[in-house]
Amino acid sequence: MDKNTLLGLLLMGGVILGFMWLNQPSAEELERRRQEAAEQLAAQQQANEQAEQQNVLIVDSLTPTEEALITPTIKQYGEADAQNPEVYTLSNGTVELRLEGGAVSGKIAVNDTTVAVAQVLSGDLASYEPRVASMAVKALKDVVSQYGRYQEFARFLTGAASDLTLENDLIALNLNTKGGKIARAELKQYLSYDSANVVLFDDAHSDFNFTLTTINQRLETRDLYFKPIVESDSSVLMSLDFASGASFGIRYTLPADSYVVKIDVVQNGMQNIIPTSTSTIDVHWYQQMSRHEEGKTFEERNSAIYYKYAGDDVEDLSAQGDESEDVNSQIKWIAFKNQFFSSVLIAKENFTGAKLDSRDLKDTAVGDKYLKSLTADATIDYSSAAPVAASFDMYLGPNLYPLLSDLEEELIPGEDLELTRLVPLGWALFRWINTLIIIPVFTFLGGFISNYGIIILILTLLIKLILFPLTYKSYMSQAKMRVLSPEIKEINDKYPGQENAMTRQQKTMELYSKAGASPFSGCLPMLLQMPILIAMFTFFPSCIELRGESFLWAKDLSAPDAIIPLGFDVPLLGTHLSIFCLVMTVTNIIYTRINMQNQMQANTMPGMKLMMYLMPVMFLFFFNDYASGLSYYYFLSLLITIIQTYVFRLVVDEEKVRAQMKENAKKPRKKSGFMARLEEAQRQQQAMLREQQKRKGKK
């Protein structure tokens, strides 16, 4: 862009800005516009109110078609009187209709008011409040529409809802005849934070519905009243029996000592009622996930929808905020996962797709008792001629790794269900450490030791024993660096300044090479220990074995031991102090001091000491709301490390280390590739410095 073009653009911009400034409205004009906007808004609100009043006052009426359908609807779907076959009655709980001698009568219940059906048909509703009259007309319209929509299923639209229980020693299920569904699931061996049994869901805050969509029908099981048939102590059939001899039902089977209920959609002769062209059945599953833990923070972080692609990986929706996902591939199972408990719907034949939705309830009126609003709408293949139209296993139980691992082999042999992914154990490396080492040892110790505080102590000792060679190597590296500290100080004093940085570094590395020491040899053992520390960090918050287990002052090792209430909210810290976290922090500060004493201090940067002490204090804020079992483990780990350090000091003779390093210095050593590259870099730097000095001399 040349100078003239740039100048032209600037002039154009100036003209536009000047025009906008000259044409901006005055303060009086702005005020007038604001008043007009306010008047328009008020007029619109008034119009809306008038429209609403008019809508309330205008009472709808049945169309001639709807009115003509009432009599045949009562005859077809109503019950004939035993004494007088010409009298029919039809009721859905809200509307009661009676047909006698061709005349329709009955009543409609609207809140606390009863409206006569005859008055609705004649339009004589002036004696009722407009809103009541409008609701009565709508109720009668819905009866005609609903029975027309359900046709052969219409006889099951009325009935009495009742519960029956299907249970074993682990779980109690309430089955409701309205919808033929599991209305409530209670775990008998686990308590919630309010000391009541854990209830995964109840009828008021959950829904489970099958939907069949034909060319002219949409049939939903939630609207139907099923007949319960107790087939055995472990099996109940919710059945719809048609006059033609056909039947449609949902069978629930709960074996002894199992958290898995088998759900089978069974049918007989339904091809005469459901068109054979209907090839899919939809499953709607909804649940407001209950809160079960005192430590709500971690429960919220670990509550989400999980799902597994058929023959592929397990995925999940975010546990933070709201998220939806349309899955257009085949899915093996869908799980509503809580921190320690899950409800998992496993399809024998894969779901062909699903729409998943998760809504956070944290800032809602029910946010204190419920965590998430979870919805899954899935589709599965269907045939009206198949005796078993669909089959599922529903797991309702704890996220216990050994239990889930065994279920993977039992439910669908030969297929890896990966149910253990419901236990979050970190990325691949950390998960391997947890599943191959930590969990087996933890489970083994739990088989004969009841105190989990003692189990954590033994587990920590075993881990420290495994890591002992690395810990010893790290200490010996620090000892060598301390022995070399005077020589390194001499090098730093002999080659001061930035211009001698490369020389100083070269001489230092030569010293390390001759003595057989390395500043990195102490870091490597620590880095090799980090995966285990991180694996434990993911293990403890997911370990349901610790849930409700007390140790010393901690009532629950899976939750913070919030012994000291602060009475106010401290940013990042919360409203309490956890004792194990506080003890861990103090121990960490002591360990930091000891560790700094063990290391060479000559090259310590200003402010580094403060930073080293600041890190443990930051951990106090970070771990204060974590599981007390995790803080207890880190405390034990640090304490054992401190003890090991003092033992090493007693055992390791630094004079012998110095003598050994002198012997190493006498031995010829092959120059490493790193040293060769360092010397080459030094030569290049010196050449550049000489060249710069020559240029300065010429000037």
Q: Quote the pLDDT of residue 195.
A: 85
pLDDT digits (tens, 9 = 90+) for 587-601: 988 888 877 765 554
CA gap 151, 335 in Å, rounded: 35
- Parse the chain into domains and list their residue ranges: 64-156, 163-424, 446-665
Q: How large is the C-alpha radius of gyration of the chain?
A: 38
d(CA 420, CA 426): 12
DSSP state string for 612-660: HHHHHHHHHHHHTTS-HHHHHHHHHHHHHHHHHHHHHHHH--HHHHHHH
Residue 363 has a CB neighbour count (10 Å cut-off) of: 6
Contact 288, 370 (CB under 8 A): yes
Percent of the chain past pLDDT 90, that is, above it, reads: 29
Task: Quote the pLDDT of residue 681.
Answer: 65
- pLDDT tens per residue, range 129-154: 888 888 888 888 888 888 877 878 88
Q: How far is the C-alpha of 666 from the C-alpha of 488, rounded, in Å?
A: 18
Residue in 65, 60, 343, 321 with CA at minimum distance from that of residue 201: 343
* Amino acid in position 442: F
Question: At 97, is the secondary structure helix, strand, or coil?
Answer: strand
> Within a 10 A sphere around the Cβ of 291, how many other Cβ atoms?
22
CATH fold of 163-424 reads: Beta-galactosidase; Chain A, domain 5 (2.70.98)
Angle of the 501-515 helix axis to the 485-494 helix axis, nearest 10: 160
Q: How many CB atoms lie within 10 A of CB 470?
A: 15
Per residue in 205-258, pLDDT (tens digit) is 999 999 988 877 788 999 899 999 999 999 999 999 987 889 999 999 999 999
Distance CA 160, CA 83 (A): 24
pTM assigned to the model: 0.75
Three-class SS of residue 262?
A: strand
Assess whether pLDDT exceeds 70 at residue 18: no
> With 90 as the cut, is the pLDDT of residue 199 above it?
yes
**Residue 384 token pair:** 């009206």
Q: What is the pLDDT of residue 513?
A: 65
Q: What is the mean pLDDT of residues 409-435?
A: 87
What does pLDDT average to over the chain? 81
Give the CA dihedral 227, 228, 230, 235, nearest 10 degrees: 120
DSSP 267: E
